[in-house]
Amino acid sequence: MTKQDFSIIGQPLPKIDAWAKVVGETKYADDFFLPRMAYGRLLRSPHGHALIKSIDVSRARELPGVYAVITGADLPRVKFGILPVSQDEEALCTEKVRMVGDAVAAVAAVDEETAERACRLIEVGYEPLPTLMSIEAALAHPEIRIHEYGDGPNVHKNVALQFGDVEAAFAASDLVREDVFFYEGNTHLPMEQHAAVAHATPDGKLTLWSSTQTPHYVHRLLPRILDMPAAHIRVVAAPVGGGFGGKLDPFAHEIAACRLSQLTGRPVKIACSREEVFYIHRGRHPVLMWIKTGFTKAGDITGCHLKTWLDGGAYGSYGVASTFYTGVINPVTYKMPVYKFEGARVFTNKPPCGPKRGHGTPQPRFALECQLDKAAEQLGLDPAEMRARILAEPYTKTANHLTVTTIGLGECIDRVVEASGWREKWRGWRSASAGASTAPAGKRRGVGIAASAYMTGAGTAIYWNSMPHSGVVLRADRSGGVTVLCGATDIGQGSDSILAYLPAEVLGIEPKDVHVHPADTSLTPVDLGSYSSRVTLMCGMAAIQAAGRLRGVIAQAVAEKLEVAAESLAFRDRKVGVPDQWERALTFTQAVELAEARHGVLAFAGSYAPPKRAGKYKGGGVGPSPCYSYSACVVELSVDEETGEVELHDVWIAHDIGRALNPLLVEGQVEGSVYMGIGEALMEGQVFRKGLHKQPSMLDYKSPTTLETPDIHTFLVETDDPEGPFGAKEAGQGPLLPVPPAIANAIYHAVGVRCDEVPITPEMILKGLELRRKGKSARVGPEKIPLFKFKEALMVESAFGRPADAVAVRPFQS
Amino acid sequence: MKSRLSLSVNGEAHDVLVPVHKTLLEVLREDLGLIGTKHGCELGECGTCTVLVDGEPVLSCLALPADLGGREILTVEGMAEGGRLHPLQQAFAELGAAQCGYCTPGILVTAKALLAGRPTPTRQEIKEALAGNLCRCTGYTKILDAVELASLRLDHSGLTSPNVGRRRPGEGAPTANETDHSGLTSPNVGRRRPGEGAPTANPT
Amino acid sequence: MMRLPPFTYLAPRTLHAAATALAEHGADAMPVAGGTDLFPNMKRRQFEPKVLVGLRGIRELTGIRGRGREGMTLGAGTTLSAVAAHPEIVAHYGALATAAGLVSSPQLRNMGTLGGNVCVDTRCNYYNQSHEWRKAIGFCMKKDGDICLVAPGSSRCWAVSSSDTAPVLWSLGARVRLVGASGERVVPLEALYRDDGIQYLTKQPGELVADIVLPPADGWTSAYLKLRRRGSFDFPVLGVAVALRMDGDRVGEARIVLGAVASQPRPAPDAAAALAGERLTPELITRVADLAAGPSKPLDNTDFTHPYRKKMTRVFVARALRALAGLPGGGRAAEEVA
């Protein structure tokens, strides 16, 4: 199909759920009010690290209005975790708490106030242990162990991979740079606090409605934790009021609601407070990075060696994957013939980190893109031109064996360079600010550029299996209506709408004719969840397959009726017919009637699993993706030299989306990503003091308002990727990645200060300016790296430049 | 101890029997079933729970119903009239200004108050009026676009709910109005500059 | 959802009735106007009054009377939005309109009152936290504990005066009318405060701020600059209020008052005195800014680092003066050089 043939695809249509959202009818998890419903609350640990010596719930149980009080003793003694290799969590801690905010007991009561009062009546005897609040502290105190498992005392994961001889590459380079960067942790801060409603019914079954991005993984874990068959549990993802990765683990409040419902025989709701959401976290890992890269005079990368240290917090969560992600995606953007990556994730007594938008990749992206800017300056190159010159080659493999298909990054760079007036501004202001250290303090403008790549869905599931990653059931009947059942979860990104658009396109009907039923484990085929930018591609491909099968059966029936060849039929404008005899075309409803009469009930399935391309080495399963999106970003800002404050003026961002199934939705994802990148670059930080979260509130955790958000100019570049549904790639995460380094690079351009750490604060910029005035290197950032021994690197031959693995070949295709 | 209170919400009189320390947010959601008003922080730090009291945006998480006798409260459920969406609701849906939708009700009523007092605000004035509403999904861009579009439509055609910007009859709005009132056919009126935003032709 | 603790709510119709109710219930009672400061604090259990005396129904607390040239009287119950938008205030007491318009967010300004902002509780990021958080770190002396977590050796509380309007009103020479059960008095606004994070107000517990009285504005100009991370929501972590009366091209009289650097608004009298009788030259402004930074002694208990807040005092005072002098580089945003 060429672009002109589409009727739905490419149109800026409203989302199918937009109407409910603008009238306030959308029911999020906390909007469920069921008859006889009880309200639950968790008692959380006030200690960062302590042994639990006793729990006395008797006073809480006696409080009038309390229906049930539970502790870990009321649940099977099994530990769980989202990854099979990190089963280290308890819903209610039994022996030890590992962070302030760990849940130790739960109450169900007549109302929330009573539940809260009851929590205060629970007496927990703790024996405090020393708390480890940083990577350095955790490594320095092997005698204090947060967990007993892992790759060393307080080391959750230690990985080392080498693809080719980086030392030889450095030796042959014209320029070799070593830099150290730090990326502070930050949190998702969805506007909706997590909430769950559980309803155990007298037949021994249980339903859980939750603000989760992954009903399937919750459904997989609940049977173990509740000791009942999965077949008797139903998990429904309510529409999610913002996820960004923060609702991707099974959580204590979900499990406690289930158990409390079983014990009370009532529906039980637990809605977390805003403060609790900061403890649930699973957000961006703080990552310290050392990166060494070799360059030729022309700016080609000869090789790269990256070390990352992740502050993982108190539990594993997705951390093993996060650790790999700090290393494996960097080679996808530019030609990087040899590559070495060493990474370690360390346990600390803080809320666990996990997958936040860009999962593990914004941190090394910041390091690489800032380093490229420095290298370009040393080599006397325009950083935009340098990047455009060294782009990875389409349809090849990277050093670390990832198959890359289409690459629209060159066009992305061109678009933002043109639109921003890059050449003029970069050269013009550069000369103006050169030697500016003697000029009076003022407000100075700068521009910065960065580029990035991100995956469109993880190539492997988080648990090993050969089943589909996404499934769709499509049914049609004589009403002319079509229903889509799919486990995908709409977290605001518009997956419900994609599930309407794609079948509508295939069947020549309108999205309004398609009813979408998402994210219900009893009703819908499994979809793994809304993470890794996988949903549009995977459920989209499954939906196209299912719609194609329905279309085939309808075409057969219509072909018989009209006495024409099935292949000659077109489906459009709610009609089915031969294009040059369109007056004879049947309405879609008539066509479905014929098919239903001929075939019986019309219900068709579509299945999707990604191509099997995992690298043939241990760890090769993290990083492969059907295809990669690309982004380029130019930021224009000014820096106040007296206050160090940064004012953003414009962000130009171009994104290789493969194909914009709905440009409105894609732009929305890009703009939202830019926004979140701005927050991470300039103000957001999940920081701790004296063992506690310093600012667990919306006031003190700084999220940009309308007044800090600049004009965002979005350009969509289409590359029609053979792996994606109608050529589409991801949009929800990748566009965040270039924003923080583009901001840092623009600040350097404006005032000559290198900020090798985010968030970049006014204090940091003033410190840099002060260094500059003293004639010292105007760099602000981490000064040292931990004493840490990475494991012996697994030596793997570099696959750089090899032809791509088979494209568009995957399971369940026929 | 509960008190009997009379509240006027969305033009309807309600008598409720509630503890006096329940906030307006809690009473709307838990006693009146008006779940359209959301909570984001309950401390006045995010704007999610905004409702209008006598036309002015206030934070329902910090308002006591006991103080609101005789005042007119408007929530997102009261914006549409007789099944006809308010132009802001229409524009928010059309332009993708609601992603997860959780901040949307608070932003809609805040924007309604802005347009009531200032029918054709500048983009900066819209930003200032919405500076008390956090959104984590959109980067505010499409929200500002949508307020501008609604303002333009209100300015052109009064308080009707035009379905401009629609692709074709029968699509889009749940309302039945099929006429294009004002020729404002671009859904991105007021923001897009030439060459910007639209997807490029397929290069391959 | 975080909820309010239970209380009895009284809604008197007159100031006298309100003051009487407060006197009658003593330490158990607190007044509440907009609720934007007290209710979040109550939800965090920083206050647990048994009785709340609501002031919203008291007509005599609202309204803005008078003109700039003869002075104005602002009812303490006037909303911050109304103060910020009032043409006479904008024209004659510009810094007050600015400060009122910079408090938190638009919604909050529609609820919060001028009296509430003048009396706003002092803040500290060890104190403005939930009960559970404060319990986890160990309660501080401002509520439930007996130590200061900012300055552990200190015998006093260092919570920060976080009002935007108070430093401005002080610089404008405002007075407040206080009404108690047994009578009323009018005191200079500065007499309302003391430098203690807990007992930061001198008024008697039963007394209510009824009016803010502004002197005639003749010849005075004023400016207010606020430091904070974001353009909305955030409390000041530094406020600079400057009021000048010009005699021709020389400063006749000047007042400089700093906000958010102590437990009360902090005047900078030496700096103000250095302005008297002088022309507002760039050199003088630099000298005055240095002097004004002297009394600025922030501690590490708000957003931004305290050395930065101290350093910015000088920059902000200079900018406020430049703005009033019509010199370049004044106001919140300095001149841009490409």
Distance from C-alpha of B190 to C-alpha of B152, rounded to nearest angstrom:
9
Q: Identify from A23, A648, A705 which residue to disrupt to test chain B contact, counting B C-beta atoms within 10 A and taking the largest count.
A: A23
Beta-strand relationship, A711-717 and A646-656: parallel
Average pLDDT over residues A256-266: 98
Both B71 and B84 in one domain: the answer is no
Considering only CB atoms, which chain A residues are within 8 Å of B147? none
Backbone Cα Rg of chain B: 18
The topology (CATH level 3) of A3-25+467-608 is: Aldehyde Oxidoreductase; domain 4 (3.30.365)
Rounded-to-integer distance, Cα C179 and Cα A114, Å: 39
Q: Is B172 on the interface with A (CB under 8 A)?
A: yes
Chosen domain end from B25, B58, B78: B78
Single-letter residue type at A346:
V
Distance CA A150, CA A156 (A): 4
Separation of alpha carbons C96 and C98, rounded Å: 5
Confidence of residue B179 (pLDDT cuts 50, 70, 90): very low
The 8-class DSSP code of residue C113 comes to B
> Where would I find the beta strands (DSSP E) of A76-222?
96-97, 103-109, 123-128, 155-163, 175-183, 195-200, 206-210
User: A89 pairs with which residues across the strands?
Assistant: A80
Residue C158's pLDDT is what?
Answer: 98
Q: Which two tokens stand for residue A262?
A: 């079983």
Q: At what angle do helices A535-562 and A495-507 cross, to 10 degrees?
A: 20
pLDDT tens for each residue of A739-763: 999 999 999 999 999 999 999 999 9
Report how far residue B135's alpha carbon sits from residue B146's, in angstroms, rounded to the nearest whole number. 14
User: In 3D, which of C267, C261, C272 has the Cα closest to residue C297?
Assistant: C261
The complex scores an ipTM of 0.97
The yes-or-no verdict on residue B162 having pLDDT over 90 is no
Extents of the domains making up chain A: 3-25+467-608, 32-129+195-242+247-280, 287-459+616-796
Residue C332's pLDDT is what?
65
Nearest Cα to Cα of residue A735 among A493, A460, A479, A425:
A493
Domain membership of residue B186 as a residue range: 80-191
For residue A244, give Cα distances in angstroms to A191, A459, C48, C215, C332: 11, 20, 37, 53, 34
Given a cut of 90, is residue A576 above it in pLDDT?
yes
CATH of A287-459+616-796, one of 3.30.365.10, 3.90.1150.10, 3.40.50.720, 3.40.50.150: 3.30.365.10
Give the mutation candidate from C2, C107, C110 for the B interface (greatest B CB count, under 10 A).
C107
Q: What is the DSSP string of A273-312?
A: -HHHHHHH---BPPEEEEEEEEE-TT--EEEEEEEEEEEE
| Among C7, C56, C106, beta carbon nearest to B67 | C56
- Mapped onto helix, strand or coil, the DSSP state of residue A335 is coil
* Facing residue for C6 by CB, picked from B21, B131, B133: B21
With a pLDDT cut of 90, the percent of chain C lying above it is 94
Cβ distance of A189 and B136 shorter than 8 Å: yes
* Amino acid type, A2: T
Return d(Cα A316, Cα C220) in angstroms, integer: 63
Model confidence at B156, pLDDT cuts 50, 70, 90, reads: confident
- What is the mean pLDDT of the segment spanning A581-587? 97
Q: Do C105 and B47 touch (CB under 8 A)?
A: yes
Cα separation, C97 vs A476, in Å, equals 63
Strand ranges in C182-267 using DSSP code E only, listed in sequence order: 183-188, 208-214, 220-227, 238-247, 250-259, 266-267
- Give me the residues paired with residue A303 across strands: A294
Region of B25 on the Ramachandran plot (φ > 0 left; ψ -120 to 50 alpha; else beta): alpha
Residue A649's beta-bridge partner residues?
Answer: none
Give dist(CA C46, CA C33) in Å, integer. Answer: 17
Residue B103: list chain A partners with CB under 8 A. Answer: 191
Q: Are residues B84 and B159 in the same domain?
A: yes
Q: Is residue B174 part of a domain?
A: yes
- For C107: left if phi > 0, alpha if psi spans -120 to 50, otherwise beta; the answer is alpha
Given an 8 Å threshold on Cβ–Cβ distance, is C9 in contact with B26?
Answer: no
Nearest Cβ partner of C5 from B3, B21, B57?
B21
> Which amino acid appears at position A582 of this protein?
W
What's the burial of A399, exposed, middle or buried (CB within 10 Å: 0-12/13-18/19+)? buried
Which CATH number belongs to the domain containing residue B69 in this structure?
3.10.20.30
Indicate if B66 and B114 belong to the same structural domain.
no
Q: Are strands A602-608 and A470-476 parallel, antiparallel or unpaired?
A: antiparallel
pLDDT of A553 reads 98
Q: What pLDDT score does B202 carry? A: 38
SS3 B192: coil
Min Cα separation A476/chain B (Å): 20
Phi, psi of A108 (to 5 degrees): -120, 135
- pLDDT computed for residue A432 by the predictor: 56
- Band of pLDDT at residue A429, cut at 50, 70 and 90: confident
**How many whole angstroms separate alpha carbon C38 and alpha carbon C44?**
10
Exposure string for A301-310, b = 16+ CB within 10 A, e = fewer: bbbbbbbbbb
Does one domain contain both B58 and B139? no
| CB-based contact A235:A218 (threshold 8 Å) | yes
CB atoms inside a 10 Å sphere around CB C320 = 27
Which pLDDT belongs to residue B192? 37
pLDDT given for residue B195 in this prediction = 37
Closest-CA residue to A634 (of A428, A454, A419, A378)? A419
Cβ–Cβ gap C110/B57 under 8 Å:
yes
Angstrom CA distances, A741 to A780, C20, C159, stand at 14, 61, 37
pLDDT band for position A419 (cuts 50, 70, 90): very high
* Residue B37 sits in the same domain as residue B108: no
Domain final residue, candidates B58, B78, B98:
B78
Q: Which residues of B touch C6 (CB under 8 A)?
A: 1, 19, 21
With respect to residue B200, please indicate whether it lies within any of the assigned structural domains: no
pLDDT single digits (tens) B122-148: 999 999 999 999 999 999 999 999 999
Q: B22-54: buried (b, 16+ CB within 10 Å) or exposed (e) per residue?
A: bbbbbbbbbbbebbbbbbbbbbbbbbbbbbbbe
CB-CB under 8 Å, C105 with B131: yes
pLDDT at C334: 43
| A185 and chain B in contact, CB less than 8 A | no
Q: Which residues of chain B lie closer than 8 angstroms to C43, CB-CB?
A: 42-43
Report pLDDT for B157. 63
Regarding whether B158 and B92 lie in a shared domain, the answer is yes
CA nearest neighbour of A450 among A218, A133, A114, A681 = A681
Q: Which of the four pLDDT bands, split at 50, 70 and 90, describes residue A440?
A: low
Q: Kindly report the number of other CB atoms within 10 A of residue C196's CB atom.
A: 17
C-beta of residue A28 within 8 angstroms of C-beta of residue A236: no
Which has the closest alpha carbon to A603: A544, A550, A524, A527?
A: A550
Residue B112 lies in a domain: yes
pLDDT of residue B134: 98
| Record: contact B197-A33, CB cut-off 8 A | no
Mean pLDDT of A346-365: 98
* Best mutation target, B25, B75, B141, B149, to test chain A (most A CBs within 10 A): B141
Structure tokens given for A778: 């105007």
pLDDT at residue A2 greater than cutoff 60: no
B178 & B85 share domain: yes
Q: Does B40 touch chain C (CB under 8 A)?
A: no
Distance between CA atoms of B34 and B20, rounded to whole angstroms?
A: 19
- pLDDT of residue A711 exceeding 70, the answer is yes
Mind telling me how many Å the CA of B131 is from chain C's nearest CA? Answer: 6
B75 at A interface, C-beta within 8 A: yes
Domain count, chain B: 2
Contacts of C1 in chain A (CB under 8 A): 112, 271, 273
> Which one of A191, A407, A669 would you mutate to disrupt binding with B, by most B Cβ within 10 Å of its Cβ?
A191
Q: How far apart are CA A164 and CA A183, in angstroms?
A: 28
Phi, psi of A356 (to 5 degrees): -110, 140
Per the domain annotation, does B86 fall within a domain?
yes
For residues A178 and A38, give the distance between their C-alpha atoms in angstroms, rounded to a whole number: 58
When scoring B137, B138, B191 by the number of chain A Cβ atoms within 10 A, the one with the most, hence best to mutate, is: B137
B95 shares its domain with B175: yes
CATH of domain A32-129+195-242+247-280: 3.90.1170.50
CB contact under 8 A, A663 and B76: no
Distance from C-alpha of B146 to C-alpha of A14, rounded to nearest angstrom: 12
Mean pLDDT along residues A544-566? 98
Which chains have 3 or more CB–CB distances shorter than 8 Å to chain A? B, C
Are A694 and C125 within 8 A, CB to CB? yes
Which pLDDT value is given to residue C331? 75
Of the candidates B35, B99, B126, the beta carbon closest to that of A27 is on B35
Q: Is A32-129+195-242+247-280 the same fold as A3-25+467-608?
A: no
Interface of B with C in 12-31 (CB under 8 A): 19-23, 25-26
Mean pLDDT, each 10-residue run in order, chain C (338 residues): 96 96 96 98 97 97 96 98 98 98 98 98 98 97 97 96 98 98 96 98 94 96 97 98 95 97 98 97 96 96 97 97 90 49
- Chain C residues closer than 8 Å to B133 by CB: 105
Q: What is the pLDDT of residue B155?
A: 83
Q: Taking CB atoms and an 8 Å cutoff, what residues of chain B touch C54?
A: 64, 66-67
Pair (B154, B85) in one structural domain = yes
Same domain, B100 and B128: yes
What residue type is assigned to position A564 of the chain?
V
> Is pLDDT at B174 greater than 70 in this prediction?
no
Geometric angle at alpha carbon A506, from A501 and A508, rounded to 5°: 85
Of A193 and A441, the one with more pLDDT:
A193
- The sign of the dihedral angle between the CA atoms of C208, C127, B58, C224 is positive
Nearest CB neighbour to B77, from listed A23, A273, A718: A23
Q: How many angstroms separate the CA of residue C28 from the nearest CA in chain A?
A: 21
Query: What tokens were used for A763?
Result: 């204090």
* pLDDT of res. B172: 39
Is C133 an 8 Å CB contact of chain B? no
Q: Are residues B24 and B95 in the same domain?
A: no
Contact of A101 with A696, CB cutoff 8 Å: no
Q: What is the pLDDT of residues A592-627, one digit of tens each?
A: 999 999 999 999 999 999 999 999 999 999 999 999
Q: Any idea what the CATH number is for the domain that residue B182 is in?
A: 1.10.150.120
Mean pLDDT of all residues in A226-245: 98
Compute the radius of gyration of chain A from its Cα atoms. Answer: 27
Same domain, residue pair B164 and B102: yes
Cα(A112)–Cα(A41) distance, rounded to whole angstroms? 7
